[in-house]
Structure formats: structure tokens, C-alpha cells
Amino acid sequence: MSIFRFLIFLSIFIQMNFICVFGQEKIPSQEELKKLSYEAGKNYEDGFLEKSLIQARKLLSFAILSKNYSIAAEAYNTIAANFDELEESEKAFFYYNKSLYFAEKSNNERLKKLIYNNLGNIYCFDKKQYKKGILYYEKSLNISLKQKDNYQVNFTKLNITWAYFDIGDYKSGYPYLKAINNYYTTKKEPTLYVALNMLNGMYCSYSEENDKARQYFQEAIKAGLQGSEKTDLCFAYEEYSKFLNKIEDYKNAYSNLNAYKKLDEELRSEEKLKKIKIAGIDLELDEYKRELEKIDKLYKTKQQLFKAEQNRNKKIVSVVILLFVIIVILFYLLYQNARLRQKNKLKDIQRNIQLNIINASIDGQELERKKIASFLHDNVSAMLSSAGLHLNAYSSQTDTESEEIAKTKAILENAHDSVRDLSHELLPALLVRFGLLFSVDDLCERNSNSTLHFEFSSNVSLKKRYNERFEIRVYFIISELLNNIVKHSTAQNAKVILNEINDRLIVTVYDNGNGFDAKKLDSVEGFGLNRIRARIKKLRGTFAIKSIENEGTTVVIKVPISY
């Protein structure tokens, strides 16, 4: 049998039981239910508890069948109030909580404030859980304040005052008592009068205002004897007796204590009679309570199934949304990755173009250097030397040398030296004649001075030669690096190391200067480094820089040897 069929069968079975119990009555209209609720409450107030309970029981059955939560809350509250009147606090507590459950479902604020107040009474004066009881009183008070129900506001404040005084916390209770006194001066409430005078007497007793305390207690007892508030009168006798005992008026204390005991016994006798009258109803309510619990469980099961279905649907929607978000993120990441690859590809192309331009420029410059150096050395330098020789020959034929001839000789000599130096700078003679290692050693020596010393070392003979173009390119790379050290490093010592390892020339240039942050290499790269990179790439080599601020810089270049 499916769960759905089982629930239908159970529902029919329960309804049939209700029909059997209540004589096959049809469900009354909303107005009829309200009338029945009013009558049950009126009978409770008039003291006809048996009638009230029967009507409340009947009202509850109709409310459950019609799923009228507001009426169900009213019915449960009436049942609870009857048991409260009979001092059956546990049963009252159970039914007040049932009433609160349905009052919250139907958002019955009027009923909620009453239930909170009554639960506060049970927690404070039956269970002695004052902290929890006062919390319920505060809930009731908040609703009453919102609804501007002045009577209920002051009634609840009176209960809060009583609860605080009962545990001896007069300071916390006094503000509430003061508020009730202010209210009572403008509007008399007979139902509050006895308890209010008693509480004022208790506070005056605490504050050692004994004359005032006596007056308040006597007024409370007088009003209680004239009115119908026997329970409050009973408490007034008890508290007055305690006060008289405190001020050592033992005779009157004893008299009031006897009055308290006599009245308390009367009230208990009345409660017993009431309980005897409704004993049968009580048993029926216990049985009915079990039936209602079954209905409640069935309802809760349906609610749980509904919530489970809702949760399942929420999970499905959440998973779909999550998958959609993940797909969107993946597409976005793929798109960004594609853009990044395209951007990097474009950068590589631009870098290659730039390197090709630089390489072409370097090749052109090297060719021009060689041509100009050759032209200067072979032509201009030779012509200047020839002019100098002819001038010397002319001078040797004359006895006296004129000043103009001497100046011309000096100019020719300076021009010859300048051309020679320029020729060597464009293409060092040592590099052409003796090779790379010898010229680098000479370069280190020429760049050394009193503040900066260059050291050269190599595991290769100084006489070893490589391919001419290879030597020229490596030489100018090292020359550029040394130039950077002189200009920017503020170093005191620098070292150039040339080693051959596995057919590769390893060039290491080190200085102990100020260095720089290697992470910011791109921001400090100048045209010099770009030219160096371009030359090394042309040689199919690698280039690495390691630099630490204030510690120095190390450059390592590895290029395959070309013979």
C-alpha cells in the first residue's frame, strides 16, 4: 500500500471516529464556531468549568477537521485555562503550548499575548523558573504595548513585579510597580486593586517604610473582603503576616496567618469539588489528547514531506545555478586564456620584430664599423702619415722651421692620433690582431681606475682565436656590460670570467655595486640591455641576470662557440 493511500485511509478513519463521537454533526460555519468559542470562554469566566471543557472539546474537533488554526488555538487556550483554574499546572502547561503553536500558525497576536502571560505564571509560580517566566511576560508585554492594550500591559507588569518580589529582587521589580501605580491613579481597575496594594506593601516593607506598608496591606485585605478576588486576598493575608512578623507584631501576625490558612483551605476545597465534577471530562480529554497527538503527527509528517520536497527542489535549482555559474566561469576563463595567448603571441611577434630590427641595426653597425675602421686605418691614417712625412722632408731642407710649419705638424699628429683612436674604438686593433680573450683582458685593464677595479680570469689561453664575427659580437656585449657597471653600479670591484664548457663559451660578469630589484627588471631595462639580448639571441645563446639591492649584480651569458 502506498503512503498516499495509507494517509487517505487514516484521515477517513479519524473523521469517522469524530463522527461517531459527536453524533455525525456537520462542521459548523465560521460564525457558529466563533459563537461556540465565546460560550466556552464565558462559561469558564462564570465558573462553569464542566460546560466550558465540553464546549472547548467540541470546538477543538471542528477546528481540527476544518483546519481552522485560529479556532483550534482558542479551543486549546480555553482547555488550558480550565486546568489552570483547577491548579492542574502540568496539563495547563501542555495545552497552553498547543494553543501557542496554533496561535503562531494563525498569527493570532491577541491570543499570543494572553498565552505568553499564562505560561509566565506557570514558569514563575509553579515551576519556579523565574528567569524563563519573566522572559514570557516580556513577550506578552511587547505585544500588548504594540496593540495599546493598557489593561493587559498593566496586568502583565503586575505579574512581572510579583515575580521579581517573589525572588527578593525588589530593585528590578520596582520600575514596573511604579508604572502600574501611575496608571491606577487615572484609571481604577478593581481586578488589580488587591494585588497592587499587596505589592506596594511588600515594597514598603523592603524599604523599611513600615507605616506605609501596614496601610497598603490593610487596604488590600479590606478590598479583598469586599470583592471577589479570594486568591489575591489569600496572598495578601500571607504577605501581611510575614510583614507583621518582621516588625515583631507577633499577635497580629498569628491572626493574619490563621486567616490565610483558613482561606487557603477554603480555596483548596473548592478546587477539589470542581475536580470531582469534571473527573469524567478529564479522562475523556486525556483520551482525546492522544487522538489529537495522532492528528498532529500526521500533519507534521505531511509538513516534513512537503519541506523535504521543497528542499530537494531547492537543491536541484541550486545545482543547476551552480553548474551554470561554473560553465560561465569556465567560458570566461577560456576566453581570457585565449586572449592572453593571443596577446602573448602578439608580444612575441613584436619582440621578434624588435629583435630583428636591432639585429639588422647591429649587423649594419658592425659592417659600418669595420668599413669605417678599415677606411680610417688604411686611407685616412695612411694619408695623414704621408702628409706628415712630406712635411718633415720639407722642413729638413730648410735651415729654419717657421711657426706655421710647427703648428701644422702638431695638428697632423693630433689628427693622426684621433683617427687611430677612433679606428681602434670602432674595431679594436687588439681584437683583430690577438683575439677575444686578449682584448677583453685589455678592456678590463683600461676601465680600471682608483675607485673601480676590474679583474679578468679565464680557463682558456689568451692566444686562442674564434670566428671573427663571433669575437666581435662577444667583445661588444662584454664592453656594453662593463660600460653599465662604470655608469650605474657604484661598485668598487668587478670581475669578468670567460670559460669554455662543452663547446660553449660561458661569460660571467660580476660587480659588488648597488644592484637592483630583479623583479623590476623590465622597468629598468634600457636600450643597452635590449641590444645585449639581441646580440646573444643572434648567437643562439642564453642570458641571465641575478641582482640583489645593495649587494651587487651577476650576469651569466652562455653561447655556443663559433670557430
Q: Is the pLDDT of residue 165 over 80?
A: yes
CB distance 99 to 73 below 8 Å: yes
End position of a domain, from candidates 80, 103, 126? 103
Q: Is the Cβ–Cβ distance between 144 and 113 less than 8 Å? A: yes
Q: Is the domain of 172 the same as that of 258?
A: no
In the predicted model, is pLDDT for residue 95 greater than 60? Answer: yes
Residue 108: count other Cβ atoms within 10 Å of its Cβ: 21
292 lies in some domain: no
Q: Is residue 492 part of a domain?
A: yes
| Residue 377, in any domain of the structure | no
For residues 144 and 262, membership in a common domain is answered with no
145 and 172 co-located in one domain: yes
- Per-residue pLDDT reduced to its tens digit, 420-466: 666 556 666 667 778 888 888 888 998 898 899 999 999 888 888 88
Residue 544, strand partner residues: 556
Considering the domain boundaries, does residue 287 fall inside one? no
Is residue 534 situated within a structural domain? yes
- In DSSP terms, 554 is beta-bridged to 510, 546
477, 554: one domain: yes
**C-alpha cell of residue 75:** 479551543
Runs of H (alpha helix) within 22-149: 30-45, 49-65, 69-85, 89-105, 109-121, 130-147
Task: Report in angstroms the alpha-carbon separations of 180 from 43, 168, 186, 191, 510.
Answer: 30, 19, 10, 13, 93
Please give the tally of structural domains in the chain: 4
Q: How many CA atoms lie within 13 A of 235 on its CB side?
A: 15
Among candidate residues 159, 180, 201, the one where a domain is terminated: 180
Same domain assignment for residues 61 and 157:
no
Could you list the residue range(s) of the whole structural domain that residue 15 is in? 1-103
Regarding whether 235 and 157 lie in a shared domain, the answer is: no
Name the residue with higher pLDDT: 320 or 391: 320
Q: Are residues 5 and 98 in the same domain?
A: yes
One-character DSSP codes across 124-180: IIIS--HHHHHHHHHHHHHHHHHHT-HHHHHHHHHHHHHHHHHTT-HHHHHHHHHHH
Pairing of strands 542-548, 552-560: antiparallel
CB 201 within 8 A of CB 242: no
Asked if residue 139 and residue 90 are part of one domain, the reply reads no
Q: Any idea which residue has 657604484 for its cell?
A: 490
Asked whether residue 299 is domain-assigned, the answer is: no
Mean pLDDT of the 115-119 span: 91
CATH number of 136's domain: 1.25.40
Q: Which of the listed residues 121, 149, 180 is the one where a domain comes to its end? A: 180
Q: What is the mean pLDDT of residues 478-497?
A: 89
Tell me the three cell numbers of residue 523: 622597468
**399 confidence band (pLDDT: 50, 70, 90):** low
Element (H, E) at 505: strand 504-511
Confidence tier at 259 by pLDDT (50, 70, 90): confident
Q: Rounded to the nearest 10 degrees, what angle do helices 30-45 and 69-85 cross at?
A: 10
Residues 17, 51 share a domain: yes
User: Taking 60 as the threshold, does the pLDDT of residue 265 lie above it?
Assistant: yes
Give domain status of residue 371, yes or no.
no
Asked if residue 168 and residue 199 are part of one domain, the reply reads no
Residue 143 and residue 218 in one domain: no
Extract the C-alpha cell encoding 265. Answer: 483551605
In a domain, 45, yes or no: yes
Q: Residues 130, 215: one domain? A: no
Q: Which three cell numbers stand for residue 127?
A: 515551576
Q: Are 243 and 213 in contact (CB under 8 A)?
A: yes
Q: Which amino acid is at 436?
A: L
pLDDT value, residue 427: 62
